[in-house]
């Protein structure tokens, strides 16, 4: 009977839950969740009264990685009790989210079946809300602190999506975190590639159909003065495309 199913609850409160994710929650012996929105937690509890939230593992001053480690151990402890465990995480459970992947990996190492179901990520919602198609210029996604620290190489003529822009350099969970220093660092790096007038968008998907998403356009030079929160994602539109490589173009034509 022991099995782990990791599901995503997406962003639209309840509406993003797939039928398969819902069935997994209903069938489970134990449901563990990290979904943020109390309304979603309440809904999960109606589907399955065993629901317990993993929120308590976060704390100010405690390293986020330590909190994630404890969450994974908690999930594993339930699986080892010979239970069908469903772990519900907001968004896509495997996108910019460590505990789901790690719990699946460790559960399989113990010879117990484990799988992950896809959910709607913030990027899925921004494609819809901002009318963007990654096919147009390609799409690069980076975690903002990692983007800065590792000097990630990116193509400014391709769409750039930066995650966790409101928590650059934050290692714990600090609800009073001041995002300005990190935003200034990021602006410096981006201005060098795009120029200060380049208009970017701070995006926050809405949990409810009746509330619009936050779509705040801002020139890069003013990024540090803009409010960035733990749920902000930054969308940097591409510079004009480079001309085609003529040699490649010629070879493609001969190939057709
Ligand atoms: N697993 C999530 C997903 O699939 O979208 C991502 C979780 S990641 C730990 C947290 C980051 O996701 C935030 O810093 C932000 O970049 C993005 N995010 C979270 N909530 C968001 C929202 N409502 N709108 C836009 N981006 C959001």
In the three-class reduction of DSSP (H, G, I as helix; E, B as strand; rest coil), residue 72 is classed as helix
State the pLDDT at residue 57: 92
| pLDDT over 80 at 255, yes or no | no
CA 145 – CA 169 distance, rounded (Å): 6
Number of other CB atoms surrounding residue 32 within 10 Å? 24
Pocket test for ligand 1, best of 166, 233, 234, 236 (most atoms within 8 A of CB): 233
Host H or E run for residue 94: none
151-206: per-residue pLDDT in tens? 999 999 999 999 999 999 887 777 788 889 999 999 999 999 999 999 999 999 99
How many whole angstroms from 26 Cα to the centroid of ligand 1?
25
Residues with CB under 6 A from ligand 1: 11, 91-92, 95-97, 121-122, 163-164, 203-205, 230-231, 233
| Catalytic-residue membership of 11 | no
As a whole number, the mean pLDDT across the chain is 95
How far, in Å, from the CA of 110 to the mean position of ligand 1?
Answer: 30
pLDDT of residue 61: 85
CA of 124, closest atom in ligand 1 = 5
> Is residue 36's pLDDT more than 90?
no
> Using CA atoms, how far apart are residues 73 and 99, in angstroms rounded to an integer?
9
The predicted model scores a pTM of 0.95
193: Cβ–Cβ under 8 A, 6 or more apart, which residues?
154, 156
The closest alpha carbon to 228, from 197, 201, 191, belongs to 201
Q: Return the structure tokens found at 130.
A: 């901002």
Set 12, 64, 152, 214: catalytic member = 64
* pLDDT recorded at residue 256: 62
Name the residue of 11, 98, 231 to mutate for ligand 1: max ligand atoms within 8 A of Cβ: 231
Going along 56-121, which residue ranges are E strands? 84-89, 114-116
Q: Looking at per-residue confidence, does 112 or 62 come out higher?
A: 112
Q: Is residue 203 flagged as an active site residue? A: no
Strands 3-8 and 84-89: parallel
- What are φ and ψ of residue 243, in 5° steps? -65, 160
Q: Is the pLDDT assigned to residue 118 strictly greater than 70?
A: yes
Q: How far, in Å, CA of 169 to CA of 183, rounded?
A: 10
Q: 70 burial class (0-12, 13-18, 19+ CB within 10 angstroms)?
A: middle
Mutation pick for ligand 1 pocket among 91, 102, 143, 211 (CB with most ligand atoms within 8 Å): 91
The question of whether 68 is a catalytic residue gets the answer yes
């Amino acid at each position: 009977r022991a099995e782990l199913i990791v599901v995503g609850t997406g962003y639209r409160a309840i509406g993003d839950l797939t039928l398969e994710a819902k069935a997994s929650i209903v069938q489970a012996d134990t449901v563990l969740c990290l979904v943020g929105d109390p309304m979603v937690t309440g809904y999960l509890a109606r589907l399955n009264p065993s629901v317990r939230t993993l929120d308590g593992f976060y704390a100010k001053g405690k390293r986020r990685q330590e909190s994630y480690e404890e969450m994974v151990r908690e999930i594993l402890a339930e699986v080892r009790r010979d239970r069908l465990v469903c772990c519900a995480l907001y968004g896509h459970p495997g996108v910019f989210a460590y505990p789901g992947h790690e719990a699946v990996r460790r559960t399989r190492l113990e010879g117990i079946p484990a799988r992950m179901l896809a959910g709607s990520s913030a990027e899925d919602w921004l494609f819809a809300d901002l009318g963007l198609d990654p096919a147009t210029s390609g799409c690069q996604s980076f975690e903002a602190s990692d983007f800065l620290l590792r000097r990630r190489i990116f193509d400014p003529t391709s769409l750039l999506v930066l995650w966790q822009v409101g928590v650059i350099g934050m290692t714990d969970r600090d609800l009073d975190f001041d995002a300005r220093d990190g935003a200034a660092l990021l602006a410096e790096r981006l201005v060098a590639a795009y120029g200060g007038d380049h208009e970017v968008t701070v995006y926050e998907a809405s949990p409810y159909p009746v509330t619009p998403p936050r779509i705040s356009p801002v020139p890069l030079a003013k990024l540090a003065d803009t409010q960035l929160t733990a749920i902000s994602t930054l969308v940097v539109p591409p510079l004009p495309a480079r001309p085609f490589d003529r040699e490649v173009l010629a070879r493609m034509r001969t190939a057709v």
